[in-house]
Amino acid sequence: MLGHSAQRDNVLTIIDIIGVNAMLEETARVVSLESAGRVRVATVRQSACGGCQGEQSCGSGVLATSARRSAVILAASNGLELKAGDSVVVGVPSGVLWQGMLLLYGMPLLLLAVCGMAGQILGGELGAVIGAMAGLVSGLLLAYAWSHKQPPDKYLPIVIKKGVS
């Protein structure tokens, strides 16, 4: 039994492969300090385009330039001493992102399919349509209710470090 668990520790899991435990990071600037250890930060959307000489004549470059707007979001300060204007790195654990995506998209779609099939069996085509719509609405309501039972900072980005250029 002990040898089996020692072998298991050396095996890559799907979580290791897709990087669920990784952090998704973005550079931001502190806009204002909020209460309860929170800060408002402004992030700038970045594009892969914009580094070549033809940026102004390229359709992708023009779209990337027009889409480069600052987005202001709320983040947990993580106990760091911050002030307005500080440059910081904010991050979201990718596991939290996966949970949010599964909750927001997976649950409603699963209930849409299951209730649609049940409606098809019980009431034909009209039953399938009604069942699918009821499943979708139920899934969205369940996702809403479940997300509001979570700690308020669960889906909040975290300031990882400050003083980046």
- In order along its 165 residues, the chain shows pLDDT tens digits of 444 444 445 554 444 555 445 777 888 888 888 887 788 888 866 555 555 655 555 655 554 555 455 677 777 766 778 888 888 888 888 788 888 888 889 999 999 999 999 999 999 999 999 999 999 999 999 999 988 888 877 778 888 887 765
Q: Are 140 and 106 in contact (CB under 8 A)?
A: no
- The residue ranges of every structural domain in the chain are 2-162
Please give the structure tokens belonging to residue 88: 């910081």
β-pairing verdict for 87-93 and 158-162: antiparallel
pTM of this prediction? Answer: 0.58
Taken as a whole, the chain contains a residue count of 165
